[in-house]
Structure 1
């Protein structure tokens, strides 16, 4: 029996249904840390902001205090990394993306959203996928402010897709007319990234 089969057997012993694990994934109780570059460390958030712009009726700029006051939404979700690990029942608190959509009012010709993180990181998601309660600008994980390596002060969380789409160190939300590749998509990853379809790479 190989590693992945043993891992799925262990899930049953832990009381989890193996059906929660997408194909090609293994379960872990850890929260591995992966990123393309370094980890930004903020001595102060006085100059930090999150900008919402592009094809919207109202461009928005939030400072951390404003977002924190809005951060009343919660969800518990399973997350799946393209490097094949999955973690169950992760608890997040922040601002549901549906509230940002309502405030910004995307234009009719907006078809996708590009999420901008620090160091030029970007990730693209079709706008039609984001009209769900399982999309959030998160400020808290497991009841505590995000740790720096997991995206402090804010990260986007969208568990429906592989977790590279959940941009850490979020600084911008751009509404765009046509879906276009972000950082990893330009470097060989799938444009969409559905873990249940194993859409890891551009030719999957």
Structure 2
């Protein structure tokens, strides 16, 4: 994990045993059912169980990001690089979404209400160059994950600052996190600070540790 930026402080320490156990899960194919479905046929993806709480999962390190120090940068293959502070971010059009989330550790939670800024609005500001095809999210704790540009540009994708009508708690990625509801939730990076557009794909933290590059829950793309 990299050092945080913008003077952000970290609490906790990286849980190496947890990371090793998750890598072992990938090697062994833990939780795989061998089944597939579609969102149209089944609201709950294969192998998932429904929960009503919001489990906290991280690598053991949680950044403390003061709002006056928070920045969201959109960089790489864009015509207009962006460095939005909290005020500028909240001055953008604000939207509400309700959707389900699905974690690769086999829990799903229905009807989450998010408030934030749509990915499409952010991309309109930055104006991706024609050669941009992939996105890498960089978090304040050093975490990264990757998706194709068309996945980030989907209608329901956002950078969220609130969950169920209250500001997003630090343990869940506050002040702001990515939300990509149609994919396993490790793609929805917590504590996001930089959105990098690239011509070539760059697998992130879990993707280089045996997890699937696409992460479609209905295809049960848990592992590579």
Q: TM-score, normalised by structure 1?
A: 0.87
**Residue 18 (structure 1) shift:** 8.9
Q: Which structure features the higher share of helix residues? A: 1
Q: Distance in 1 between matches of 2:77 and 2:101?
A: 29
**Residue 104 (structure 1) shift:** 0.6
Which residue number in structure 1 is paired with residue 87 of structure 2? Answer: 65
Deviation digits for residues 3-54 of structure 1 (CA, Å, limit 9, x no counterpart): xxxxxxxxxxxxxx99210001000001100012311123x32222111000
**Residue 69 (structure 1) shift:** 2.5
* 8 Å Cα contact 1:124-1:182 kept in structure 2: yes
Which residue number in structure 1 is paired with residue 62 of structure 2? Answer: 39
Which residue number in structure 2 is paired with residue 74 of structure 1? Answer: 96
RMSD after superposition: 1.4
Give the ranges of 4+ consecutive aligned residues of structure 1 lying more than 4 Å apart after TM superposition.
none
The number of residue pairs the alignment matches comes to 185
**Residue 174 (structure 1) shift:** 0.1
Is 1:166 the counterpart of 2:175 in the alignment?
no
Q: What residue ranges of structure 2 are gaps of 5+ in the alignment?
A: 1-39
Q: TM-score, normalised by structure 2?
A: 0.80
**Residue 55 (structure 1) shift:** 0.2
* 8 Å Cα contact 2:160-2:177 kept in structure 1: yes
Is 1:49 the counterpart of 2:80 in the alignment?
no
